[in-house]
Amino acid sequence: MLNLVIGLGVQGNKRIKFLKEKYLTVDPIKKIADYQKLSDVPLKEVSHAYVCTPEKQKFKIIKKLLNNNIHVLVEKPLIFKKEEDKEILKILKVKKSTLYTAYNHRFEPHIVKAKKILDKSELGKIYYVNIYYGNGTAQLWKNNWREKNLYSIINDLGVHLLDIFDFWFKFYPKKFLTTARAKNELKCFDFFSFSSKEKFLCNFSTSIINWRNTFRADIIGTKGSLHIDCLCKWGPSILTLRKRKFPSGKPLERIKTIKKNDPTWNLEEKYFKKISKKNITNFKNDLTIKQCIESIK
């Protein structure tokens, strides 16, 4: 059986690098693709597909793949209309296929380590969380399909922060407050910050006008704090764990630095193949993130 990569943009070409099995490609523009139309692909020979297309094209593609019993990994976000959500849920109940929306940062070493620390309650009761994700892609968005959506920055970067938050704390806030937003170089927002006070105060900030790619996270609790500076793909990635000193004083501090190429794509590929054997889907996660986005807007 074959893998199928649909869309040979940045994400599609990244996925190809980590495929160990033979694959076919589909792209309506790129001449190097094996096919220009999905309708021409011999789907009976395909077991797994990677949907790396703009948002508007995803529903029809995914529907066709699932109806052909093909396991699907789709690049985030997956935001459908209500009727489309219902249709996908019906298909997933009948067909033995996996639908997995990729949030590769869940596999980032220090994000995984942070989850283990939080699961052990090493920081105690959480007071405050701040997560920031920024890059400098503003001019790549100009006159692009992304610029046409006022909230593209939430769909592209904000959803990563929401997914990481759920990965760490096992819940999504239901209500959000927009704390800052701006259109500096684009017709859509290129900086956006939002927050929630559910259970504890948390702030999420996104930017595509940050000229050095940046990820930062701060988690403050009664027993100490945890801080992440940078992801492996932009490296080095640094995790700092501080144990609070009572009644006050300099905390005991452990610092771990990782210098390596981005491991998340390979780890996510292995995970996708693993869950496809059990027909596991994370589509309900998409539905919850969709509700969050609606609340943020």
On whether both 82 and 119 belong to a single domain, the answer is no
**Does residue 150 form part of some domain?**
yes
Q: What is the pLDDT of residues 15-48, one digit of tens each?
A: 999 999 999 999 999 999 999 999 999 999 999 9
pLDDT digits (tens, 9 = 90+) for 45-71: 999 999 999 889 999 999 999 999 999
pLDDT at 213: 97
Neighbouring residues of 52: CB distance < 8 A, sequence distance ≥ 6: 5, 6, 7, 8, 9, 11, 12, 15, 75
- Note whether residue 297 is domain-resident: no
One domain for residues 38 and 119: no
Q: In terms of domains, do 77 and 125 share one?
A: no
Q: Is residue 33 assigned to a domain?
A: yes
Residue holding tokens 């869950």? 275
**CATH number, domain containing residue 59:** 3.40.50.720
Output the domain CATH number for residue 141. 3.30.360.10
Q: Return the number of other C-beta atoms located less than 10 Å from residue 233's C-beta.
A: 17
Give the span between the Cα atoms of 296 and 277, in whole angstroms.
36
pLDDT of 277 above 90: yes
Residue 252 within a domain: yes
User: pLDDT tier at 96 (50, 70, 90 boundaries)?
Assistant: confident
> In this model, does residue 219 exceed pLDDT 90?
yes
Q: Judge if 80 and 27 occupy the same domain.
A: yes
As a whole number of angstroms, the distance between CA 10 and CA 52 comes to: 9
User: Do 11 and 143 fall within a single domain?
Assistant: no
Residue 197 resides in a domain? yes
Has residue 145 got a pLDDT over 90? no
Range of the structural domain that residue 162 is part of: 109-261
Residue 199 and residue 140 share a domain:
yes
- For residue 135, tell me if it sits in a domain: yes
The two tokens of residue 17 are: 């690098």
Same domain, 88 and 135: no
Same-domain status, 120 and 257 = yes
Same domain, 93 and 133: no
Residue 264 has pLDDT above 90, yes or no: yes
Residue 287 within a domain: no
- Of 1 and 73, the one with more pLDDT: 73
The total of structural domains in the chain comes to 2
pTM for the full model?
A: 0.93
Indicate the average pLDDT of the chain.
96
**Pair (73, 117) in one structural domain:** no
Decide if 295 is inside a domain: no
Identify whether residues 171 and 218 lie together within a single domain.
yes
Do 79 and 143 reside in the same domain of the chain? no
Backbone angles phi, psi at 74, to 5 degrees: -120, 140
Distances (CA, A) of 246 to 24, 39, 74, 120, 251: 60, 66, 48, 20, 9
Residue 51, pLDDT score: 98
